[in-house]
Amino acid sequence: MIAFLKGIVCLVAVILFFSLVSLKFPSGDKAMSGVANAAVCTFLVEAIYKYILGDFAGIEFFGAVGSVSGSMGAPAAALLVGIAMGGNPIYSAAGAFAVAGYGILPGFLAGYCMYWLLHWLEKHLPSGIDMILLTLISAAGHYAIAKYSDPYVSSVLTIIGGAISEATTYSPVVMGFILGGLMKIICTSPMSSMALTAMLGLTGLPMGIAAVACFGGTFSNGVVFHRLKMGDRGKVIAVMLEPLTQANIITSNPVIIYSSSFLGGALSGTVAALFGIIDNAPGTASPIPGLLAPFAFNPPGKVALVMAIALVCGVVSGFIISTIAKKIHYKVVIPN
């Protein structure tokens, strides 16, 4: 029990930290967008190519592509975080190549911290030698940050992973409800659920819960947007496909949106737990990846059934929350 509580505290601390990064740190939202993109171009590619087309369909070529892509989380994070923040692509690339072999979180930390140092040095180094010096400094700096942060990152993630695994073993339904609701809130918030699950390295049932929750919960958001007239059809579709595109409306109506996210995600996550849906592709906690990735690790018929039930859970949850909002005469805030 103590180990479980310790793990949950660590998980909440990590979530709060990345929420602060996204909302309060300089260029934090851009950095989180960069690491989310890193999860897409590595872990999503791995999930589709390695596990579905490689392992499941038996196509060796795609299996090889997926394996290589999935091993590049740290370089992708370091590169895309630096570029997203406005850094020089050459220096970001030099640093990214130096962190190959580490996890996506050390890569993220290296990319974020080194951006500021390189940005400052660019203003002070004389023209002509700046490119050579900054390329060398970037490679060494990225490597140093990744190398020395990795043991601490690994220890925290081990504690969190152990706690979640223990909880899903002893009480999978409870964990499905809590983890599913929590992950869908994160999916809807300015912090990326893809980035977080990639950083945590979630696999197995916990990742399956997160994937199904993000898929099912997206329909609750769509129903709320539609019934409360938070935007036209385009915005309804957009919030279902990628909630971050509607961040201004979501953050202006947080109670209603996050309530629908939690309920839809929690019910969908519970369904995933009851059916034992696993997902060994970390970083696929988003509506479309969450729909596709589980097919690589579970019988297709079971996945299709679970997704259909999750869809219904999402629609019902959105209907419940939007009905409550209408009953209390909630006034929707539409930002300029």
Token pair for 312: 């219904």
Average pLDDT, rounded, for the chain: 84
Q: How far apart are CA 116 and CA 48, in angstroms?
A: 35
DSSP 8-state assignment for residue 102: S
Token look-up 């706690």 returns 163
Give the angle 84-28-116 at the CA atoms, nearest 5°: 70
Q: How far apart are CA 125 and CA 138, in angstroms?
A: 14
The amino acid that residue 157 corresponds to is L
CA atoms within 13 A on the CB side of 5: 2
Token pair for 203: 């696999």
Q: What is the pTM of this model?
A: 0.69
Question: What's CA 252's distance to the chain center, in Å?
Answer: 22
The amino acid that residue 282 corresponds to is P
Residues 6+ apart with CB under 8 A from 237: 222
Residues 6+ apart with CB under 8 A from 171: none
pLDDT for the residue 165 = 66
Secondary structure of residue 259 in the 3-state scheme = helix
pLDDT for the residue 333 = 75
* Residue segments in the chain with a per-residue pLDDT below the cut of 70: 1-8, 11, 15, 19, 161-169, 189-192, 195, 199, 244-245, 247-248, 251, 335-336
pLDDT for the residue 7 = 65
Domain ranges of the chain: 20-170, 172-328
The radius of gyration of the chain from alpha carbons, rounded to an integer in Å, stands at: 20
**CA-CA distances (angstroms) from residue 129 to 87, 124, 135, 154?**
18, 11, 10, 37
The C-alpha torsion from 171 through 175 and 178 to 183, rounded to 10°, is 180
pLDDT for the residue 307 = 95
CA atoms within 13 A on the CB side of 276: 3
Task: Provide DSSP, 202-251.
Answer: --HHHHHHHHHHHHHHHHHHHHHHHHTT-S-HHHHHHHHH-GGGGHHHHH
